[in-house]
Structure 1
Amino acid sequence: MTAAAPRAGLLLGIDIGTSSAKGVLVRPDGTLVARAQREHTTSTPGPGRFEHDAEGVWWADFRSLARELLAELPAGEPLAGVGVSGIGPCLLPVDERNGPLRPAILYGIDTRAGAELAEQNERYGPDAIIARCGAPLTSQAVGPKLAWLRRHEPTVFEATRRWYMASSYLVHRLTGRYVLDHHSASQCTPLYDLAARTWITERCEEIAPGVEWPELVRPADVVGTVTRQAQERTGIPAGTPPVVAGTVDAWAEAAGVGVADPGDLMLMYGTTMFLVGIVERPLTSPHLWGTAGAFDGTYCLAAGMATSGAVTGWLRDLTGASYERLTGEADRLPPGAEGLVMLPYFAGERTPIFDPDARGLVHGLTLRHGRGHLYRAALEATAYGVRHNLAAMREAGATAERLVAVGGGARTLWTRIVSDVTGRAQHLPRHTIGAAYGDAFLAAVGAGLAVPGDIAHWNPTVEVVTPDGAAAAVYDELYAVYLDLYPATREAAHVLAARQHADGARQDV
C-alpha cells in the first residue's frame, strides 16, 4: 500500500514566554502569514518566587492567540500541524482530573527550593548528579521544586497525581495526552538519565511518591490530534491537524533559527538571556547545563542569565522613559558608560555562578551619571554575562563557531554591544520573532512537510553584526572589573538576600 502524502496547509506555532505569549501562522516553505502577541504578568508572591496561572495565562493566551490567527487563515487552506513551546522547566501539579492545584512554579528564576536543593545534593552527590544527569543541581531543576511542594504544601502534594510544564500542559489540553519531550525531561535534574534517555525511576519514587510520570517523546513527535472539547475552546478543527510534543521555548527557538549543528550557538535576547550551544556528544560542566537537544541524537550545553531584558524593563519603569529614549541616550555614550559597571544579578544568577542569593550592583556611580548611563551599563552587564558564559563553554570543551542572535533585543544597540564586548560576530536570521516560529517548524517536521535541514531555507541569515575593534581595550578592562566584583561583594549580597527573604516571609504571614 502506498503511504498517504503529507497533508498540505499552514502550520500554527504558539509559545508561552515569561512576560508574553506569541503565535504565528507559517506556510510549509517558511513564509510568515500572520503573527500575534499577548502580554501577561508573572506573579511574584515573595522574594525569589515566580509563578504563572496555568489557566489564566498559559491556556487563556493559547486560546486567544489561536482564534486570532485562525481568523487569518486563507480561505480553503487548512491547518497542517500545531506546535507549542513554553518557559521551562516548570512545575504545575494537577489532581486526578488534571486540574491545576496551584500556580505553576517557574524555572531557575524561582529560587524557593534552596534547602531541598542542598539536601538532594547531599543525598545523591554533586559529581554523581552531573555525571548521570548532565548538569549540576540548581534552582533550574524540577527535583528540588517537587521536594519543596511535598514539604511546604503537603495538602497540595497529596492531591497531586501528575505534573506539567507549559508546553506539555498545552499539549494535554489539546490532545488529552500526558507526555514530555526528552529535552524538557533532561532539565528535571536529578530525575533524568541523559545517556540512557529515561527517567531514573527510583529517584522519581523517592522524591515524589504516588505521582505518575509522563511518557517521554521527542519535540517533533506527533502525539495526537485536537479533541472535540479543545476545538470548542480554541477553534482549531478537531481530529485533523497533528499536534507535536513541543519543548522548552529556547530550544524551539534554536530549532527555528537553524542552530542544529555542532559549533552553532544561539543567543536569545529576552526577559532573560539564554544561550544554547550544540555539541557532538554529551558534555558536562559544574557551571552549565548539559541537555538533550531538540532533534534526536543531538546534545547541548546551555547557559542562562536570570535577568537581562528584565533589568532594562525595570529601568524603563523606574525612570518613566521609553525604551526608544533610553536607547538613544545610551547610544550617545562611549563604551563603558563613562566608568559604570553593573552586576545584573537582580534575581540572583544562574550560569555560570549558580547563586540564587547574588544581587544586583552598580559600581562607579557619581552625581554626573544619569539614566542613559544606567541603561547602557545594563546592556553592557548582559554582554559581560554572555562573555562569562562563553568562557565557561570553552572550558567545558564546546566550540561556539557561529553565533545566532534572536529575540526582541536583536537588531538593536544591545546586539552591537554584545558583539563589541565578546569580540564575536552575530548572525541575524530573517525571522527573530521567537520560539513560535520554531514551533511551526517542529510541527512541519512532525507532519512530514519538512526535515531539520530545511530551516536554512525557511530562515536564512540576512545580517551579520561584527565587533568594533576600537572598543575592545575598554571592554577588556571593564570585563576584568566585572569578574572581580562578584567575589568581592558576594558575602555582603548574601547578608542582604537573607534579610530580604526574612522580610518577605513576614509579609506573607
Structure 2
Amino acid sequence: MRCTIGVDIGTSSSKGVLVDEAGTILATATRAHEVSRPRTGWVEMDGEVWWDEFVGLARELLAAVPEAEVAGVGVSGMGPCILLADEHDHPVRPAILYGVDTRSTAQIARMTAELGDEDITRVGGSTLTSQAGGPKIAWVADEEPEAWSRARRLYMPASWLARRLTGAYVLDHQSASQVSPLYDIEHERWHEPWWQRYAGTVEAPELRWAGDVAGTVTDAAAAASGIPAGTPVVTGTIDAWTEAVSVGAHELGDLMLMYGTTMFLVATGAETLRTPSMWTTAGAFAGTRNLAGGLSTSGALTAWLKDLTGADYPELLGEAATSGPGARGLLMLPYFAGERTPIQDPDARGVIAGLTLEHTRGDLYRAALEATALGVRHNVETMRAAGADIRRIVAVGGGTQGRLWLQIVSDVTGLVQEVPETTIGASYGAAFLAAGATAAPGAAPAIDAWNPIAETVRPDAALRPFYDALFDRYVRLYEGTTSVVHDLAADQRGATPTTPTPEAP
C-alpha cells in the first residue's frame, strides 16, 4: 500500500500521520513536550528533541500499518525558530522560538537604527519585530559569544529534520523570508550584504520551495527511523503554512485561520503587500506572497484557564455557552504572552475588565474565547486595510473541534468560515506535499479530493451591532491600559525567583 508520512513539530507537541494515496489517514501518533521559559520573554526548546520525537513517531506509525510502503516523507514545524549548530550539526544552544520569544528587543532597535525602516521593509517586506529571525541571530552574537563562535549552520524544525534524514542543508523560501531582514523577498534570495553583516560566520542554507524534494533518506536515518533508505523527503516549511496546504487555503484570495496554542492567520495573494503591523512573507509555493499575522495566545490561554479552574473543556464550553455574548459584562485582552500582530507589543499583558464577585469561571472562559476572536478581527481588518483581497476563510487546527469557539469567531468578525473534513493540521499538509512531490507526472493529488469541506459556520447577523461595540471597547481598553501594563512588564522582567513574595493575609 503506497503511503506518505507527515510529521509536524509544534509548540506543545509533535504529530505524525500515515496517509494513503486517497488522503485517508491510516495511523496517527503524538508526542507531547514542553518549551522552556528560563526568563520572562524567553521561549526555547532543545533541538535534539525534534529528531528524537520524529524517530519515535515514524516507528510508531510504521508499526501500526506494517503493510505500508512509504513513498515519501513530509516535514513541518513551528517557526520562525533559530537553531544554530556547529560544523558537526551539534546545536550550540537551545533553539529560540518564534514571536513568542521577545528577548531580541535591543537587537531590533539596533538593526533598525543601522539599516533604516524603509530599507528593511523594501528588502525583507516587514519591519523588524519579535517574529523576525535576524534579530534573534544577532542576540546570540551579542549575548552568548562562546556559542556564537561555534555557530556554522542555521536550522528550523523542518530543515533540521530534512538534514537529519537526508544530509541536505536546505531551507524553504517561506521560512527564509521570516529570517528578516536577511532575505530579499522580491528577488527570492538571501540578501548577501546583510547576511554577511549579521550572520557572516554561518553558512547560508540552500533555498528551495516547500514541496521540493530535499533529498532521500540515508542509511543512518533509515536505521534510526525505520523509513527505507532512498525514500524522498520534501523540504517542508513552517507549520502555519503547512496547515494552509492541508486545507487547500493557499490559493489567491484565501485566508487560513489556525486554531492552536497560538492563533495564526495567513492571507495569500500575488502582490507583495507591506504594512508595519503585519508580516510580509514569501508563500509556500513559487509565485505567491503572504500577509500573515498571529496572536501570541489562543489555545494557550484556554489551557491556562482550564488548569487554573480544574475544570475540563466540555464543562467550560458548556458554561461559556450559558454565559452568552459579552460574558455578562467581561472584556479580556488576550495578551498573556505579549502580543504579535497587529499591535506588535511584546510588553502587552493580559487584562480582564469588568470583574465582579458574581462572575463565574464560565464567564471568564467565554471572555477568553471572545478575546481571541476580537484579536482575529483586529488582524483581519488590518490586512484588508493593507490591500489584502480576502475571499475565502478556512479554519484549521485543534480548536475547530469546539463549535462554540468557531461560532464566536464568525460572530465577532462577521466572516463565514469553512471547516474541512480533516483538521489534524500541519502533519497532514506535510504528507500531502510528500504525495505531490513523489506522484507520477500528471497524477499529483488534489487537496479538495483529499480533504473536502465538511462544515460552514455563518455569523449571526443579529449580533453584529453588539460585537462592533465590543470591538471598539477592546481597542480602547488596550490603548487605555498600555502605560500601566508596560510598567508591570518591566517589573516582571526584573523579577527573580528569589524575589520575596508578601504573605497572604
Name the stretch that deviates more: 430-439 or 498-507.
498-507
Aligned pair partner of 1:54 in 40, 44, 47: 47
Q: Deviations over 1:53-93 (max 9, x none)?
A: 1113x112111110110112352x41010000000001111
Does the residue aligned with 1:83 lie in a helix, a strand or coil?
Answer: strand
Q: Does 1:91 align with 2:82?
A: yes
Does the residue aligned with 1:354 lie in a helix, a strand or coil?
Answer: coil
Q: Does 1:255 align with 2:245?
A: yes
Task: For 2:156 and 2:333, locate their aligned partners in 1 and report how far apart those are by CA, in whole Å.
Answer: 30
Task: For 2:94 and 2:305, locate their aligned partners in 1 and report how far apart those are by CA, in whole Å.
Answer: 28
Aligned pair partner of 1:290 in 266, 269, 280: 280
Question: What fraction of aligned residue pairs are identical, expressed as a percent?
Answer: 55
Does the residue aligned with 1:187 lie in a helix, a strand or coil?
Answer: coil
Q: 1:322 maps to which residue?
A: 312
Q: Deviations over 1:202-244 (max 9, x none)?
A: 11111122111100011111111111111121111112x2000
1:504 CA displacement: 4.1
Aligned pair partner of 1:333 in 304, 314, 323: 323
Q: 2:98 maps to which residue?
A: 107
Does the residue aligned with 2:362 lie in a helix, a strand or coil?
Answer: helix
Aligned pair partner of 2:120 in 129, 154, 157: 129
Does the residue aligned with 2:400 lie in a helix, a strand or coil?
Answer: coil
Q: Deviations over 1:35-59 (max 9, x none)?
A: 1111111111010110111113x11
Q: 2:263 maps to which residue?
A: 273
Contact 2:393 2:417 in 1 (8 A): yes
Q: 1:3 maps to which residue?
A: none
Against the structure 1 CA distance between its residues 497 and 505, is the aligned structure 2 distance closer, same or farther, given a 3 Å change threshold?
A: farther
Aligned pair partner of 1:70 in 44, 62, 73: 62
Task: For 1:308 and 1:399, locate their aligned partners in 2 and report how far apart those are by CA, in whole Å.
Answer: 25
Q: What amino acid does structure 2 have at the position aligned with 1:42? A: V
Q: 1:359 maps to which residue?
A: 349
Task: For 1:499 and 1:232, locate their aligned partners in 2 and report how far apart those are by CA, in whole Å.
Answer: 51
1:139 CA displacement: 0.4
Task: For 2:40 and 2:451, locate their aligned partners in 1 and report how far apart those are by CA, in whole Å.
Answer: 40
Q: Does 1:445 align with 2:441?
A: no
Contact 1:47 1:504 in 2 (8 A): no
Task: For 1:314 and 1:139, locate their aligned partners in 2 and report how far apart those are by CA, in whole Å.
Answer: 23
State the TM-score, normalized to the length of structure 2: 0.96
Contact 1:384 1:479 in 2 (8 A): yes
Aligned pair partner of 2:194 in 203, 227, 232: 203
Task: For 1:150 and 1:52, locate their aligned partners in 2 and report how far apart those are by CA, in whole Å.
Answer: 18
Contact 2:435 2:445 in 1 (8 A): no
Task: For 1:260 and 1:362, locate their aligned partners in 2 and report how far apart those are by CA, in whole Å.
Answer: 36
Q: 2:466 maps to which residue?
A: 474
Against the structure 1 CA distance between its residues 163 and 182, is the aligned structure 2 distance closer, same or farther, given a 3 Å change threshold?
A: same
1:28 CA displacement: 2.0
Q: 1:5 maps to which residue?
A: none
State the TM-score, normalized to the length of structure 1: 0.96
Does the residue aligned with 1:275 lie in a helix, a strand or coil?
Answer: strand
Q: Does 1:18 align with 2:11?
A: yes
1:338 CA displacement: 0.6
Q: Deviations over 1:152-211 (max 9, x none)?
A: 110000011112111111111111111000000010101000000000111111112211
Tell me the number of residue pairs that the alignment of Structure 1 and Structure 2 aligns: 497
Does the residue aligned with 1:190 lie in a helix, a strand or coil?
Answer: coil
Aligned pair partner of 1:497 in 471, 478, 489: 489
Does the residue aligned with 1:332 lie in a helix, a strand or coil?
Answer: helix
1:444 CA displacement: 1.2
Against the structure 1 CA distance between its residues 166 and 506, is the aligned structure 2 distance closer, same or farther, given a 3 Å change threshold?
A: farther
Task: For 2:373 and 2:66, locate their aligned partners in 1 and report how far apart those are by CA, in whole Å.
Answer: 42
1:299 CA displacement: 1.0
Q: 2:180 maps to which residue?
A: 189
1:313 CA displacement: 0.7
Task: For 1:259 and 1:451, locate their aligned partners in 2 and report how far apart those are by CA, in whole Å.
Answer: 21
Q: Deviations over 1:278-332 (max 9, x none)?
A: 1121111111111111111111111111111111111111111111111111011
Against the structure 1 CA distance between its residues 485 and 177, is the aligned structure 2 distance closer, same or farther, given a 3 Å change threshold?
A: same
Q: Does 1:312 align with 2:302?
A: yes
Does the residue aligned with 2:249 lie in a helix, a strand or coil?
Answer: coil
1:506 CA displacement: 7.4
Q: 1:459 maps to which residue?
A: 451
Counting only pairs closer than 5 Å after superposition, residues 326-405 of structure 1 correspond to structure 2 as 326-405=316-395
Contact 2:2 2:70 in 1 (8 A): yes
1:473 CA displacement: 2.2
Against the structure 1 CA distance between its residues 108 and 452, is the aligned structure 2 distance closer, same or farther, given a 3 Å change threshold?
A: farther
1:407 CA displacement: 0.4
Task: For 1:504 and 1:403, locate their aligned partners in 2 and report how far apart those are by CA, in whole Å.
Answer: 44
Task: For 1:92 and 1:192, locate their aligned partners in 2 and report how far apart those are by CA, in whole Å.
Answer: 17
Aligned pair partner of 1:236 in 221, 224, 227: 227
Task: For 1:258 and 1:163, locate their aligned partners in 2 and report how far apart those are by CA, in whole Å.
Answer: 29
Q: 1:424 maps to which residue?
A: 415
Contact 2:72 2:232 in 1 (8 A): yes
Is there any run of 5+ residues in structure 2 with no aligned partner, and where? 500-505
Contact 1:46 1:505 in 2 (8 A): no
Q: Does 1:36 align with 2:29?
A: yes
Counting only pairs closer than 5 Å after superposition, residues 410-421 of structure 1 correspond to structure 2 as 410-412=400-402, 413-421=404-412
Q: What amino acid does structure 1 have at the position aligned with 2:214? A: V
Q: What amino acid does structure 2 have at the position aligned with 1:15? A: D
Q: What amino acid does structure 2 have at the position aligned with 1:282? A: T
Is there any run of 5+ residues in structure 1 with no aligned partner, and where? 1-7
Q: 1:434 maps to which residue?
A: 425
Q: What amino acid does structure 2 have at the position aligned with 1:481? A: R
